[in-house]
Structure 1
Amino acid sequence: MTFKLMIWDLDNTLIGSSKLLWGAFNMVFEKYTGSKLSPKEIVQLYGPPESDVIEKIVGKKRKNQALEDFYTYYRENHDKLVDTFSQVFELIQKLRQKGIKQSLFTSKGRRSADITLKRLDIVKLFDLVVCGDEIPRPKPYPDGVVKIISYFSFSPEEVIYFGDSPLDIQSAHQAGVKGALVLWDSIHPDALGGEKPDFIFLDIPKLEEWIEQVYAGIE
């Protein structure tokens, strides 16, 4: 079937941001606790927006200052530590031209998401952006996906969500939409376990091939 709305995750789906996020979280963790986290430990913190993660690390009293440190590091190191998957940007633009609505749902807070969206000039690719600090509950809860579906008034059967993590697939399925697992920059070695995705794309050419087949007749 052809989907009328596509929802995309941001980190490790549209951009390769592991080095930036690991650096930012570790800078905060080392400054406020005196020790470092391993990449695996950082990944286990993913799901809530960075404000919630940092509060968990440093506590409520030091949260605001630690957040400012996080955003300073994020902003200053963004361009040298983030990889972009421009082929996916091009696909999204082509799909928009065919009338397929495009949305972004990221666990990031609005502040860090806006830094990335503006630096890469990709705000224009999306009809709606929903961030992790704009919903009641984080992934794997369906709140973000449900918010987007409600905004466009599509039925869940008309929607697909692309993400790199089991959390994304769980969020999709709890909202009643199809979940597509993309693995071209996955940081999850167990990404094929647990929740079963409806589609799996090991690389961007496979996604391009699928889109060409599914949407070939749409002008």
Structure 2
Amino acid sequence: MKQVDAIVFDMDGTVIASHAAVPAAYRAAILAGGGRQYTDDEIIAGYPLGAPSALLSALLRRPATETDVERYHLELAAVAAQVASYDGVPELLADLAGRAPVGLFTGASHRAAHILLERVGLADHFRVIVGGDEVTRPKPAPDGVVLACRRLDVAPQRSAYVGDSPLDLRAARDAGALAVAASWGHQYDPDAPADLTVAHPRDLRALLV
């Protein structure tokens, strides 16, 4: 197994299970902004659009305003109690934080990431947290992975990016990082190309020297 100097994680579907809370927050914000009712699947299908402002604009069918984005974050905070970390993730992060640089890149906004990670008590385990609103291009573009590695002061080629979705794996590979598939995530696709597939968070310990 290839070993690396740093690990960067995706958030939703990798570190935390938020596939009910996040669509609920978007749905409430969209309805408050005059949009129509959307299903969870319809909202999740829009995740590749990137940060909240882009997804809200698409679903509202008009440019999202600062009020729309603020409403989304308030709604997310209101439902954050529904979010939980995956089994084994807190223990893994506590172990890794003392051994190597650990970062996170998510398509969610930086603010949304902190809302959810603080709710489950994991925010302090990450040396850097990069949100989708901090890069120009969303996944599968490698921009966020590259930025997280830069802030960790580790070359992407000496890093692993762990995510559950095909977009995560493409972003990792295009960044030059080891693409690690988290098979416990809700968007995991066994047919998506990955350099490594792990069945449980504890398996990631083997990536470090």
Per the TM superposition, whether the score is higher than 0.5 is yes
Q: Which has the larger radius of gyration?
A: 1
Instruction: Please name the residue that 2:66 is paired with.
Output: 64
SS in 1 for 2:193: coil
CA distance in 1, matches of 2:174, 2:130: 17
Match of 2:190 in 1: 192
Larger CA deviation: 137-146 vs 109-118: 109-118
Q: Are 1:94 and 2:95 counterparts?
A: yes
State the partner residue of 2:111.
111
Letter paired with 2:197 = I
What's the TM-score once normalised by structure 1's chain length? 0.85
C-alpha displacement of 1:86: 5.2
- The equivalent residue for 1:201 is 198
Output the TM-score relative to the length of structure 2: 0.88
Corresponding residue number in structure 2 for 1:40: 41
> Which secondary structure state, in structure 2, belongs to the residue aligned with residue 91 of structure 1?
helix
Once the two structures are TM-superposed, the CA of residue 17 in structure 1 deviates from its matched residue by 0.3
CA distance in 1 between counterparts of 2:170 and 2:78 reads 33
Offset of 1:57 from its aligned partner?
Answer: 2.1
Letter in 1 for 2:202: E
3-state SS of 1:28 partner: helix
Structure 1: how far apart are the matches of 2:121 and 2:23?
Answer: 23
Query: Structure 1 residue 31: deviation in Å?
Result: 4.0
Counterpart secondary structure, 2:161 = strand
SS at match of 1:18: coil
RMSD value over aligned CA atoms?
2.0
- What is the count of residue pairs matched by the alignment? 206
* CA-to-aligned-CA distance 1:30-63 (integer Å, 9 cap, x gap): 4445532233221211130112111222222x52
Q: Deviations over 1:48-97 (max 9, x none)?
A: 0112111222222x522322322221111111x11222521211221222
- In the TM superposition, what is the alpha-carbon distance from 1:198 to its structure 2 partner? 1.0
Structure 1 residue 214: Cα displacement: 5.0
1:71 is aligned with what amino acid?
A: H
Contact in 1 for aligned 2:198/2:204 (Cα 8 Å): no
- 1:77 corresponds to: 79
Give CA deviations for 1:161-184 in whole Å, capped at 9, x if unaligned. 011111100100110111111121
**Percent sequence identity over matched residues?**
25
The aligned counterpart of 1:54 is 56
Structure 1 portions without partners, runs of 5+:
none
Distance in 2 of aligned mates of 1:145 and 1:209: 21
| Structure 1 residues 156-215: Cα deviation after superposition (integer angstroms, max 9, x where no partner) | 331100111111001001101111111213145xx223x40111123x2xx42452x555
Say yes or no: does 1:134 pair with 2:134: yes
Residue of structure 2 in register with 1:10 after alignment: 11
Change in Cα spacing, 1:132 to 1:121, as seen in structure 2 (3 Å) is same
SS in structure 1 of the partner of residue 103 of structure 2: strand
CA distance 1:214–1:32, shift in 2 (3 Å): closer
Distance in 2 of aligned mates of 1:45 and 1:35: 15
